[in-house]
Structure 1
Amino acid sequence: MRILVVSDTHGDLERFDRVLSKLEKESPVDMIVHCGDCYEDALNIRMSCGIPVAAVKGNCDHEFSETGFLLLATEAGDFLVTHGHMENVGQDLQRLYYKALENDCIGALFGHTHRGVFTEIDGVYLMNPGSLSRPRDGSGGSFGIIETDDDQVCGKIYRYKEFTEGQAAGPSGGLRPKSGRLRRLLNDSDRL
């Protein structure tokens, strides 16, 4: 499964439309995940593009949900999708990491900070695609691609300017095998 991950579009879908148009021509995606702010943008994307869209509400969405997250099933395992403000991702990723573990997820997709990052902590993949319209990391805007198959996860953050000026969004970051979730769960059993 090939997933386009975006967040924090805040009503500005111009760059998103350019990214999706290029992806459709060069390397189509199977799904789009919008990690909140603004949920209405995700609804507009869903109506206009014909690709399945999974979305959560963020702190700038007037009526954000009580749970604030959803579970996205992939061939490699489930991903937790959240905006991140309720997990305090602006400070660190520890609460997000444990929330992914507690929900038996292999990873988490989140936003809120407007800063792109893809990392792995003890076998749990964490991706914040940054923001295409309001970046706070000097990137000029970014988005993420996650690719999964039966036992591997691959992910990469793409900078908008580099991508639109020629960089293809093919497989990247190296395929990584899933690692021992059961071992980690037992080691962290005091969290249960």
Structure 2
Amino acid sequence: MRILVFSDTHGKIDKAVEIYHQLQEIDLIIHLGDLWNDAKRLKELLPVSLLSVRGNMDGAFSREEYQIFETEYGKIYLSHGHMENVKQGLDHIMYKAESLGCRAVFFGHTHIPLFRQVEGLYLLNPGSLSLPVGGRKGSYAVVTITCDSLNASILYEEAPQTQKTESGFLKNLLNNSDRF
């Protein structure tokens, strides 16, 4: 199974659609929140199955805002990450995933790409395609799953990212606060 993973598109899905069309043999898209409507639009536009979770900008403030995705490799915990305070550290999200018998965690919220294995648990954050932080280019992930393995690559958009300042006190507070 080959999975395309996005997070934190924040209303800008043109690049996501373009990337999907450039890649071959994608079996599933996973969208990890911010914005829920982006996931719905991608599902309407693209001829592929899509799983998604809600993020802090989608009004998701329940500890139950996650999904367990069953694969041939094992369970994968899908969450935006804001309710597990991933900006403060990964312990909470790791404990939650392990308590649910998951072998991997896919999350967003930080806008910073990450793929690593910690104590047998894979952690994947595709970063943000439309609003990356720290001068990075927009990023996404491609994951290949078999019964024996989970392999992921963090990929970056080709064109240099132009940083656009988003306005609005409440929007910035919600997006950048670990309390939400």
Q: TM-score range by the shorter chain?
A: 0.7 to 0.9
| Matched length | 159
1:172-192 deviation digits (Å, cap 9, x = unpaired): xxxxxxxxxxxxxxxxxxxxx
2 CA distance for matches of 1:38 and 1:144?
A: 17
Select which of 132, 137, 149 maps to 2:134. 137
Displacement of 1:115 after TM fit? 0.6
1:94-122 deviation digits (Å, cap 9, x = unpaired): 11111110110000100001111101101
TM-score by length of 1: 0.80
Structure 1 runs of 4+ with >4 Å offset:
63-66
Q: Which residue of structure 2 lines up, in the alignment, with residue 112 of structure 1? A: 109
Displacement of 1:18 after TM fit? 1.3
RMSD: 1.3
Q: Percent identity?
A: 38
Q: Establish whether residue 91 from structure 1 lines up as the match of residue 93 from structure 2.
A: no
**Aligned partner letter, 2:2:** R
Displacement of 1:64 after TM fit? 5.3
Q: Which residue of structure 2 lines up, in the alignment, with residue 179 of structure 1? A: none
Q: Establish whether residue 29 from structure 1 lines up as the match of residue 47 from structure 2.
A: no
2 CA distance for matches of 1:123 and 1:138?
A: 31
Pick closer, same or farther for the CA change 1:64–1:44 going to 2, 3 Å: farther
2 CA distance for matches of 1:63 and 1:95?
A: 17
SS of the residue corresponding to residue 95 of structure 2 reads helix
* Superposition pairs of residues 58-77 of structure 1, within 5 angstroms: 58-62=55-59, 67-77=64-74
TM-score by length of 2: 0.85
